[in-house]
Structure formats: structure tokens, C-alpha cells
Copies of this chain bind each other. A is one copy, B any other.
């Protein structure tokens, strides 16, 4: 599976900007892939990129129309069908983050078939995976883990990809969730895989690679989240990381969606190492990423210093606010800098 870019971003007539959060994430990280947006009357979201017709997008080189919006119930509204069929007839593939599969709509399915186009449902995984092997693969891997869900694991991995490439590292973001898949054009929505194949799917996402290559694997959930810890553990075993970054949101009091209290950063470090050793005996924590949005700059910097001191001097940063240089420097220090002729910035 490889979603071809550039993209035309389909927003339908969603009622607010939040419903287009996935589409906005794609624009934020892959502005050059996003030629324009197409909106139906009444649409209240705006990605800040040019409005385009399907014909204009095709003329500009678009390859895929992305449905990166959420709709109440995850279904595809009937009145979106006409434009999706039009896009298929114009030669575009369609990629969707809706729960409902594109192919379950007979008109869309027929249009894809008659035009030989692909339909990507990034929330679903139809590939048959092997079960995990647990054997060591070549190349280096970093996993972002969390004290909870939605604490910046994807953002941190993407920021590290940009930062490491800028420093000359050969590094690739590896998507494990739907927004990440749109951003990288590939990946597996790991929470949608059948339970027996979680670690096997991650082994498939991050295969053997050159010794100097880094896969930066997007984490999911938390080992301490009672709903999703199984996914997080399979992801840890399958990605067999050499290094991991703990992501944290300091204002959160309970785990997302449940009354369970948040673990400490140290608990996450300890359990990640204890469990991660099974498939990588030299796993280590190389940094902490903190969402400091709720604090002013001075308080944010103090908090980061405090967190760094409390964890043996591990680099701590807010990747959004202060960048990831200290995280990249630590990786270079512990594992060596980029190889000669590194693969800088080929997004």
C-alpha cells in the first residue's frame, strides 16, 4: 500500500474545523503534497490552502483525493458520493479515514472498478500478517511511547524525522495510525489489526534496514492505559526499539476516557525497558517530550529542566515549542552521528 501524492483534500460539508483535524495534520506536515482543498456548500472547515475543482487538481498533477475528515457516526454521507465518483472518473485514487469502507458504497466501488483506481481505507487493514518473530532485525529503531493516549507521540516522531534528516541522518517516520498513514503515504493502523498479529504487523512496517538507518515508529496508547495497553505492548515488542522517547502531558489527571490515574514518567521508562528487553536487550530511554501548551515560556522551561534533572539528565523538550535539537543530539551521542552521504530531508 502506497498512497500516491500529491493530494486533493476533500472536506465535504463538515460543521467545524475540529472535524478536519486529520486533514489539517496532513497539511501541517506535508504542505507540498497538498495541492488544494475541495469543499461542499456549508463546509465550515478551511485548511488555508487553495480551493480547487477536481479538474483543476488533476491538471495540477493530483493523484489521490483524501477524505481526512470525521463525520458523525463515521459513515460516508450519501451527498458526498457524487464528488467521490467524479474524482475516480477523473483518474484520482481515493483514501479515506472514515470507519465505513469506501467499497461498501456500490457507486464508489463501481467507479473504482471501471477506472482501475485504488480505494484506501486507512482505518482498516486487510493485509494478512505473520505473527511476530521477535528476532533482531538490522538497522536502528526509535519508538515514541506515552504516559497516556494523545500526548504527542505522532508529533514527536514526525518532528524527529524532520530534525534528524536536517542533521543528515537517514531516518523515516513509520506510521501506525490513520493520520500518520496519510502523512507518510503508507503504514498500518495498528489498533485495527487482529490481536494475534499486532507485533507481526509492526515487524512488517519496520523491516531489516541499513545499519545507519533509523525507523522512527509512531507509538500508540500507553502500557498503563487499561483499554489499549495490549496494543502498546505488541507495538513495543514488534518495533524492538534501540531508543525510546517518553511523551507526556503534564495537566492530564486521569488516562484519556477512563478514571485510571496517569503513571509517572519514571514508571513508563521502567516498564518500557522491562518489557522491551524481550526483543531488544539494549533498549534505552533517550529523552522526554512534554506538551507545555498550558504554561508560559518561563514556566515551560523550568518544568523541562525539572523533568530532565529528575530523570538523570535525559534531554527534555516540548517539540512544538522548543524543537528537538537536544533529542537529536542525544541520539547522535549515544548511537553515533549520521553516516557520510546521509539521506537528509527527502520527505
Q: A: which residues have CB within 8 A of B? A: 131-135, 190-196, 198-200, 223-224, 226-235, 237, 255, 257-260, 271, 274-275, 278-279
> In the complex, what residues of B have CB within 8 A of residue A194's CB?
191-195
Do A229 and B224 have beta carbons less than 8 Å apart? no
Do B231 and A230 have beta carbons less than 8 Å apart? yes
A118 to chain B, nearest CB (A): 23
Do B230 and A230 have beta carbons less than 8 Å apart? yes
Do B234 and A230 have beta carbons less than 8 Å apart? yes
Kindly identify which residue among B224, B235, B237, B275 contacts A278, using a CB–CB cutoff of 8 Å. B224
Give Cα distance in the complex from A271 to B132, angstroms.
Answer: 21
Do B226 and A195 have beta carbons less than 8 Å apart? no
> In the complex, what residues of B have CB within 8 A of residue A192's CB?
194-196
> In the complex, what residues of B have CB within 8 A of residue A191's CB?
194-196
Give Cα distance in the complex from A223 to B237, angstroms.
Answer: 10
Do A260 and B233 have beta carbons less than 8 Å apart? no
Give Cα distance in the complex from A198 to B190, angstroms.
Answer: 13
Interface centre among A194, A196, A271 (most CB of B within 10 A): A196
Known contacts: A194-B191, A274-B271. The answer to whether A229 contacts B259 by CB under 8 A is: no
